Structures are given as structure tokens and as C-alpha cells.
Homo-oligomer: A and B are copies of this chain.
Amino acid sequence: MFILKIGGSSGINYDLIADDIAALVKNGEKMVVVHGGSALTNEVAEKLGHPPQFVTSVSGYTSRRTDRRTLEIFEMVYCGQMNKGLVEKLQSRGVDAIGLSGLDGRLWEGKRKAAIKIVQNGRRRVLRDDFTGKVERVNTDLLDLLLSAGYVPVLTPPAISYDGEAINVDGDRAAAATAIALGAETLVILSNVPGLLEEFPDEHTLIRHIPAQSLDKFMAVAQDRMKKKVMGAQEALAGGLTRIIFADGRVENPVRRALNGEGTVIE
């Protein structure tokens, strides 16, 4: 059993990924899929007249400003078009997929951040109306129920707060939390680059192997969105996973290539 996280950046080829999942499922592989939807959310938010905003925390992480309207648009894209689009691609290839958000059956539960400290134009500011948080509990009973019945769960943010509000959570870290909760050994994270790059965006500078104990050092190398992927990998390792692979989601057989060690392998 492994966890497959598929990013939401442009360029990632969901058809090729669905082909590969179908081949793996035919071979009897069990997996849980987690996906994003960031690029399309930006596009739809623009069109709906509520353009995306990103904020940078005081510790240097970038995240989507998630007011209530953004959350609605987020759900439209992540849970609507992206999730059902992927479920359809999988079903049409013979994979019995079931798409769920973190709200459904309280699949991904966590605390909503009461306040987030950001830096804006060089000044510190506190946001209190943001709907973001972090997955702290995974409903493994529900996942086991579906996996035992032969379904492939296809999961996507948002998660749910302890008070029952939808909260935006990072998909890579949610995938890591899911892998830990299910006791999986491997987490594959597909994005629109071949892995962690020594000199982003030069793809020839791919870092092929990182020993688990030295992952910390690579945080400085990670750019932008890759920072959270490295953070997710750190959490996954701390939670007992033995292998995390950052790999290319734009190529043929992307999942099998990753499982065969193409990309950045952290172990």
C-alpha cells in the first residue's frame, strides 16, 4: 500500500497518471490517492471576480489567503471539477474510485488557525478571518472500510475543523498525515518538476537521493511550493514512513517510474 499525491500545478498530466494507476490496480496494488487543484483554482477565482491572493507567513511559507468566498471557489475546483474529473478518468479505465474531501465523514480533522501571522510589504500583520488549518486526525476506519471493499479512495482538501468548519490545508502535508495514519511505507508526490532541484528551475540539477537524516539541510534548496513538500516529507519520516519520492507528473508511467526510483528519493 502506498499513498500517491498528485499536485495541482499546470503541466501535470492527469491522463497519463490515470493510465498508470489503472495498470497498478490491475496488478493488485492498493493505494490511496490525494490530489490538489491550485492552478485551476487561480483561474476560476479570476474569472469569478475574486482573484487569488497569497500570503507569506513570518516563517517564510507561502499559502493561499482563504476567506469564505475563496473556500467556496476552492471547493468548486478541488472537490468538484478536479476530484470528479479524476474519478471519471479512473472509472473509465476500470478503477473503482471514490472521491472524498476531508469534510466527508470527518476524514481529515484538525484545528482551524485562530490567527496567522504574515508579512506584508515588510510589515507583520495578523489575519483572523482565514479558514486554514492542519490535519491532525485521519478517519482511518472510513479509509479501511472503502479499501477493504475494493475501492480506491481519491482524497482532496478541504479538511474539517473540530467545530465542523471547512478549512484549507496543504495537500502534501495531508497526504503525509494519511500515509502515517494508515501505516504506509511509501509516499509518492508528483508535481510539474522531476523532483527536488539543486538550482531551481534547472531540471538538470535534480537531486536523486537524500538520506533521511540529512533532509533538514535541503530545506534551504527548496523553492516556493516545494518547501511544503519537503516539510510534508519531514513529517512523513518522523511519522514512520521509510520512503518518500518526489517525481515528475508530466511523463508516461509517472507512478511506476517514481516507485522505481526516478526522481528525488528520500529514505
Output the least CB separation between A105 and chain B (Å): 5
CB distance from A209 to the nearest CB of B (A): 38
Stretch of A74-82, A117-125, A224-232, A254-262 on the interface side? A74-82
A160 interface contact, C-beta 8 A: yes
- Residues of chain A in range 123-170 having any CB-CB distance to chain B below 8 Å: 141-142, 145, 149, 151, 158, 160, 163-166
Q: How many copies does the complex hold?
A: 2
| Bound Cα distance from A87 to B80, whole angstroms | 14
Q: How far is the CA of A47 from the CA of B75 in the complex (A)?
A: 17
A100 to B100, CA, bound (A): 7
Q: How far is the CA of A88 from the CA of B149 in the complex (A)?
A: 26
Rounded to whole angstroms, the CA-CA distance of A78 and B81 in the bound complex is 10
Size band of the interface chain A makes with B: 35 or more
Q: Are A84 and B91 neighbours in the complex by a CB distance under 8 Å?
A: no
Q: List 10 A-B contacts (CB under 8 A).
A: A75-B80, A75-B81, A76-B76, A79-B79, A88-B164, A88-B166, A92-B165, A97-B104, A98-B105, A105-B151
18 further interface pairs, Cβ-Cβ under 8 Å (given A75-B84, A145-B145): A47-B47, A76-B76, A76-B80, A76-B81, A79-B79, A84-B101, A84-B158, A87-B104, A88-B165, A88-B166, A91-B103, A91-B164, A92-B165, A94-B164, A96-B105, A98-B100, A99-B103, A100-B104
